[in-house]
Structure 1
Amino acid sequence: MQRLVRPLRHAEEMLSLLTALALGVNQLAVGQVVPPLNIHDAAGQASAFKPAARGLTLLNFWATWCPPCREELPRLLAAQHPGKLKVVAVNVGQSPDGVLKFWHQQKLEKLPLAFARSGDLNAWPLPGLPTSVLLDASGRVRAVRFGPVSEAELAGWGK
């Protein structure tokens, strides 16, 4: 699967991308097996992430302070297809209390939510937020997307 490219729509996206490029951040490569990732639930309980046994898993790294992140969350919720596409929204570096308040206000309770601390992401070269990583059941990267995911991309991944 090829890497998707589109114009940047938000100043925050541009700033994050320029920062990542200046720091020499590499991205995950299509076909690569992802490195281990510890994620946490709202209570702080850690677990090792595992992709769905069937279909594809989309890990979406986001934060509440990021406008393009907030913009795409309803699309991610609508894109889930059991057995075909599982979406996990991974909040990066924020307190669960504030995130959960936002989550409930936006009526996103049916979208799986996890938390990653900065140290959890050392082996994950994320250029900025939002970043989405599409994985197959074996944990291989099928696509990487920096910036909001479009409805068309999600529809294609959910087939």
Structure 2
Amino acid sequence: MKKYVFYLVIAVVLSGIAYTSYNAYQTKQDQQQIQAKQQAEGGLETGMKAPDLEIEQDGQPIRLSDLTDQLIVINFWATWCPPCRQEIPELNAFSESTSIPVYGINVTTSERRLTDVEEFLKKTPVDYPVLYDTKGQSEKAYRLLAMPATYLIDETGTIVGKHVGPVTEEMLKEMVQKIGG
């Protein structure tokens, strides 16, 4: 009987060690998957302070921080980017159906020339302000690896939502709803 209890205790201890080891392994695997996803998506993450950019609107310099007195959506895009072009009607719809300002930030340094953007905007209706990053700050500051990239920034200048790739009106509304907006 004593042998039986001894072996039972050993079995329970070994089971506990195996269970603990597996949980630690699984947690590490989950963390690695999250890190891989973040690296693949690139960019800054929610909860981080949004870097201030010196950009242009209608040829005049402005600072991104001047626009964040309320929740805003910023969308980094380029004319040569098919998904960027694809999402413009969705951003238009979101802009028209909510009181949340949308700003399209053209990563101008990735364009062949500024006139390409001007010609594109003559042909494509964009119902929200288009700002120009003529100094190439956004790619480095926001660690952009892909475009389009869309961020929700709250009135404190904190990133409260993010999506890499084309967005839809519904996706943006869901992002706003998640943060209680």
Q: TM-score with structure 1 length normalisation? A: 0.73
Quick one: distance in 2 between partners of 1:84 and 1:48? Answer: 21
The aligned counterpart of 1:116 is 133
Query: What letter matches 1:62 in structure 2?
Result: W
1:30 paired with 2:46, answer: yes
The one-letter code matched in structure 2 to 1:70 is R
The 3 A distance-change label for structure 1 pair 126 and 88 is same
Distance of 1:70 and 1:26 partners within structure 2: 20
Mapped to 2, the partners of 1:90 and 1:152 lie a distance apart of: 21
Quick check: which has more Rg, 1 or 2? 2
Counting only pairs closer than 5 Å after superposition, residues 8-87 of structure 1 correspond to structure 2 as 21=40, 26-43=42-59, 45-50=60-65, 51-54=67-70, 56-80=71-95, 84-87=99-102
* Overall identity of the aligned pairs, in %: 30
Greater shift in the superposed pair: 111-120 or 131-140: 111-120
Residue 126 of structure 1: how far off its partner (Å): 1.1
| SS of structure 1 residue aligned to 2:121 | helix
1:60, 1:133 within 8 Å by CA — same for their partners in 2? yes
- Given residue 73 of structure 1, which amino acid in structure 2 is its aligned partner? I
Greater share of helix: 2
- 1-side partners of 2:74 and 2:119: how far apart? 21
Question: How many residues in Structure 1 have an aligned counterpart in Structure 2?
Answer: 134
Could you say which structure has the higher strand fraction?
1
CA positional deviation for 1:42 = 4.4
Report the equivalent of 1:150. Answer: 168
Segment drifting more, 33-42 vs 141-150: 33-42
Paired amino acid for 1:35? P
Opposite residue 27 of structure 1, the aligned amino acid is: G
> Gapped runs of 5+ residues in structure 2?
1-38
Unaligned runs of 5+ in 1: 1-19
Contact 2:91–2:168 (CA under 8 A) maintained in structure 1: no
Give 1:9's aligned residue: none
Residues 150, 162 of structure 2: 8 Å contact kept = yes
Report the counterpart of residue 144 of structure 2 in structure 1.
126
Q: Once the 2 structures are TM-superposed, how far is the Cα of residue 46 of structure 1 from its aligned partner?
A: 2.2
TM-score scaled by length of structure 2:
0.65
Q: Distance in 1 between matches of 2:157 and 2:141?
A: 15
More contact order relative to length (CA 8 Å, sep ≥ 6): 1
